[in-house]
Amino acid sequence: MTQTPGANTPHPSFMAEVKDAVTPRATILVTGTVVLALLFIASYVGALHDPKPKNVPLGVVAPEVAAQQTVDRLENLPGDPLDPRALPDVETARDQILDREIDGALVIDPTTTTDTLLVATGGGRALAATLESLVATLERSEARTLRVVDVAPADRHDANGLTSFYVTVGWCVGGYLCASIITISSGARRPTLRRSVIRLIVMALVAAVAGLGGALIVGPILGALPGSIAALWGVGTLTVFAVGAATFAFQAVFGMAGIGLVILIVVILGNPSAGGALPPPLLPPFWHDIGPALPPGAGTWTTRSVAYFKGNDTTGSLLILSAWAVAGAAITLLAAALRGKDRTPTAPATPGPTATAAP
């Protein structure tokens, strides 16, 4: 009787099948993905679930004695929601709001029972509404009424003043996705110096296209954001390139794990702290502190300034974006150059003359 080959070969156990199917590399990648997902939930909920104003800069315009009394009262509110300061006149208050030095101003008129609150919904409707609610409560306690004047109104098509945040998030996503695709497409090997230069040039071209596209979409196409198209194009280009260059740098130093680190920094830490859904004064301390130093926060602040505040107070945020771009490009090139030196082959030793044995 002929025996079929392999007929008596035992089937592998279930655990053996599991070990064969689930490789250590896959386990690490899945574990890392789950960790990132949980961090995503924790960061967004932690930053946005319970908004409370903290040290919101507020001007007070009133006769000298009344101004100081009001400042003292506002400074002593429980939880320090406001950071009040006396201002000489309404014009100064308007100028400081447009310069983004303060977020609102209370103008007290002692000759009537109605005071005026100056706000800027272009800086975020949530913040303006919080100031209005807080000051209106104080006014009612003194049997006074409140009139609200919006000195930098958000566009009527800019729902809740979030367009600046949304376009910035899109630019950031474009930056790290394009850089990641460029990185992954060349395989696991790390790039040479020449290839790194090519990648950065390509990233700059991609950034220019994405920056212009975003500016056109939120501007003339959808009419969701006012402001100079050229200025928005510049902000978008810098934002995309900054995130893309940072992605190259992290990948150059940490390998493919660097892409995960970029997602951690830009998405998990950067987006909830960017001041989009909640402007910075409404964020918890940790998120309020890190937001301006990360690309989403710097990009959102700059875009809002271009759209609603005549481009005022953008120097700091532009320097932050530039620092990410320059540091990312420099680290990418330096890492490639150092690897090139490590791989330089050593010239083989020249063999000496062969000695001939005496007969």
Q: Indicate the pLDDT class of residue 348, thresholds 50, 70 and 90.
A: low
Lowest mean pLDDT among 43-47, 82-86, 303-307: 43-47
Of 187, 217, 191, which is closest to residue 203 (Cα–Cα)?
191
Write out pLDDT tens, residues 171-198. Answer: 999 999 999 999 888 765 677 899 999 9
Q: Indicate the pLDDT class of residue 11, thresholds 50, 70 and 90.
A: low
Collapsed DSSP state (helix, strand, coil) of residue 321: helix
Output DSSP code: residue 139. Answer: H
pTM for the model = 0.86
Question: Which residues sit opposite 83 in a β-bridge?
Answer: 57
- Is the pLDDT at 243 greater than 90? The verdict is yes
- Is the pLDDT at 354 greater than 70? The verdict is no
Average pLDDT over residues 110-126: 93
Write out pLDDT tens, residues 259-290. Answer: 889 999 999 999 999 999 899 999 999 999 99
Average pLDDT over residues 40-69: 90
- Is the pLDDT at 2 greater than 90? The verdict is no
Of 154, 125, 150, which is closest to residue 278 (Cα–Cα)?
125
Q: What is the pLDDT of residue 8?
A: 59
- Is the pLDDT at 6 greater than 60? The verdict is no
User: Average model confidence (pLDDT) for the chain?
Assistant: 88
Write out pLDDT tens, residues 194-238. Answer: 999 999 999 999 999 999 999 999 999 999 999 999 999 999 999
- Is the pLDDT at 308 greater than 70? The verdict is yes
- Is the pLDDT at 346 greater than 60? The verdict is no
- The bridge status of strand 145-150 relative to strand 104-107 is unpaired
CA 261 to CA 332: how far, in whole Å? 15
| Alpha-carbon distances of 313 from 160, 241, 309, rounded to whole Å | 22, 22, 8
Query: Considering the chain, what percentage of its residues have pLDDT values greater than 70?
Result: 87
Gap between the terminal Cα atoms of the chain = 73
Question: If you write DSSP's letter for every residue of 253-309 in order, what string do you get?
Answer: HHTTHHHHHHHIIIIIIITTTSSSSS-GGGS-HHHHHHGGGSHHHHHHHHHHHHHHS
Q: Which two tokens stand for residue 103?
A: 């977020």
